[in-house]
Amino acid sequence: MKENTSMEAFLDDYGKIVVYLSQRFYNGKSDRFYLERPQGEATACQIRELESHESYTRYTLTGPAEVQIGEALEIVEEHGHRAVLQYRRIVQTARFDEDYAYEGELGAFCEENQTRFALWAPTACEVQLDLRLADKQVLAAMTREEKGVWRFTADGDWDGGTYLYQVKVNGELHLSPDPYALSSTANGRRSGLVNWKRMAQMPKSALPPFTRYTDAVIYELSVRDFTHQAQCGTRTHSQYRSLCEVGTTLQGKPTGLDYLASLGVTHVQLMPVADFATVDEEHPELFYNWGYDPLQYGCPEGSYASDPNDPRCRVRELKQLIATLHARGLRVNLDVVFNHHYDIQFSAFGQCVPYYYFRTTPSGFLSNGSFCGNDTDSIKRMMRKYIVDIVCRWIEVYDVDGFRFDLMGIHDVDTMNAVVAAGRQLKPELMVYGEGWDLPTALNDDLKACQRNNAKMPQVAHFNDYFRDVVKGKTSDFDVQAKGYATGNLFQAHDMPSALCANTLNKEMYKIYQQPTQSINYVECHDNATSWDKMKDCCKDEVREIRVKRQKLMIAVTLVAQGVPFLQSGQEFCRTKYGYHNTYNAPDNVNQIDWERKNRHNEVVEFTRDCLRLRKLIRAFRFASTEEIESHVHFEVTEGQMLLYQLNDVEAYGGYQTIKVFFNPSLTVQYVELEEDYQQIFNEAGLLTTPVMVRNLAVNPITMVVVVK
């Protein structure tokens, strides 16, 4: 119990009351307790259990089986001492979920002539709305309606206004932003009202057709990092609008948006652009953070906006950025962080419905599978609804094309399937994928949205850490010396077939996924050391030129493997973070994209472009089903642990009958005598302008060679 408190009382189930009585108060002893309602009616409670502790006595009482949730109830003990009866674990019961789950719209709906407010707060006894716009201010009592939803309609035009809820719950008055807020003022001080339908309509661009996950190439970038460096040449830096600027160059080569659009990727994955806590939006230069410290899940981050105090600005500028990327043929996926909150003391969830939204252990402690101090509880119907609602709003308002779920294993299978089902009602080609790690959250293992349950989520993809570790080598701080196949561990040649077939086959392979559409293939992302930095440890005896070849080989493997390829921004020019493994709050000079480095490693950039062209040219690298892989893909480990990845009878997938891909990560030339003449179309230089007919093939050290017939 809280220090300096004589008595606390909690409603933990229907008819179950737990009271903590301080030993300083009558030695913690009381023989009679009553539940008292606001009208003065008192009902005797029976003492079921008593536990004496050093500083308090814990009483478990049987009270009335039926109470009106949201009433301001009190517990009175025999000496006349009173305590507010707090709604605690009762909100975690299945019955509470059944009784109060609400299916309708929640949030603030700003229209030209009125704004409607709806807040779900069933345990609150009173809610008031504090509404402001310029010199107008309204403080209005909201009306409790069905399922504990509080409502108010404000007449007039409130576009650009701000509001807070004053929620009286468990004897305390909480000033809370709206959990469903579309926008806010700087640093989340007040929720913001935006009539987004009034904004200038963004042009709808004719995006290239997209029907299968395996046709995607995902490119991860941070809004802040991509244009921060002065050499990027943008007029503004590290803002939504910075990434919309055209015509920027360095030494005659494109930077920023023009460079991004020239690469040949299909999907841009934006690192978190939902509001996060630890960057001061009015002074973003003071602190850095990736954004995995969520504050408001449905509100754009204000440090990327030109005016963080105008609620309309961040919405308008993020909409413009996504429309600009669409105009360049790029779809946009958002990295979303629903698995935890930065600090539940500042969470609108905790302010409006204490104890409900966060998962607890059987003993009542906060679950911490996210290692961030708390886990949200997607099993709860209103938490699941919240995730689905906010995802759908990102699609509806911003025209988002997909979602990457951070620590997806914290969530449950049914929630992820609900996200896919609802999202695809709005956008049939929606991508949904995430980190399917098996995390120690307080959830039954069979329910977790983790890799081993992928068969229960057929439309959800997972980051493939097997692929990462086999190709590059293990990636944690403790495994920096570990090599993968492409970084020189030739003994992993026999592990590569499993990775190259998206871990979908059983026969002599390691199967993880049901279909290749479920495997996000990557060797690096924002987490951990970059591939280039890792090689400084695991390949430290090799000269720079050799490590550049290995960088190219890792990119090539990623882009010809079955599954969905994923690149981190800068990977294509040997991005370094100077040896730091976890740069979530490191300075800008560590995290920023280095455009001078891009020019220095232009050879790797052009090689990456050629790999992307090769993948687009040959659809057999993009099989969408396990049956296709099983029918057409063959592997063979040849001399010197060189790997042959062969695609047979694939003329229906791009004009060639047979495709042979040779990977040679060794330091020696490997010679191959082909059974007949083939065209060589790709080698360490990239795509060959004029294919060469070969039968005797020399595969140079640390290269990928592709021949076709």
Which has the closest alpha carbon to 176: 163, 164, 168? Answer: 164
Question: CA 434, CA 452: separation in Å to the nearest integer?
Answer: 13
Residue 554 is classified by DSSP as H
Asked if 468 and 522 count as a contact pair (C-beta separation under 8 A), the reply is yes
Asked if 12 and 67 count as a contact pair (C-beta separation under 8 A), the reply is no
CB atoms within 10 A of CB 708: 22
End-to-end, the C-alpha distance of the chain in Å comes to 76
Question: CA 434, CA 339: separation in Å to the nearest integer?
Answer: 11
In 3-state terms, what secondary structure has residue 40?
coil
Question: CA 352, CA 120: separation in Å to the nearest integer?
Answer: 8
Q: Is 406 in the active site? A: yes
Q: CA-CA-CA-CA torsion for 78, 84, 89, 92, nearest 10 degrees? A: 140
Residue 201 is classified by DSSP as P
Q: Bridge-partner residues for 56, per DSSP?
A: 22
Which has the closest alpha carbon to 376: 352, 388, 359, 391? Answer: 359
Q: Is 301 in the active site? A: no
Planar angle of CA 215, 566, 495, nearest 5 degrees: 100
Which residue, chain included where needed, has tokens 């009208």? 39
Question: CA 195, CA 136: separation in Å to the nearest integer?
Answer: 18
Structural Rg of the chain based on CA atoms: 29
Instruction: Provide the sign of the torsion angle of the four alpha carbons 331, 332, 333, 338, taken in this order.
Output: negative
Residue 209 is classified by DSSP as P
Task: Say which of 159, 178, 335, 435 is annotated catalytic.
Answer: 435
Residue 389 phi, psi dihedral angles, 5° rounding? -60, -45
In 3-state terms, what secondary structure has residue 86?
strand
Task: Say which of 77, 281, 335, 406 is annotated catalytic.
Answer: 406
In 3-state terms, what secondary structure has residue 299?
strand
3-state secondary structure 240-271: CHHHHCCCCEECCEECHHHHHHHHCCCEEEEC
Burial of 511 (0-12, 13-18, 19+ CB in 10 A): middle
Write out the catalytic residue numbers. Answer: 406, 435
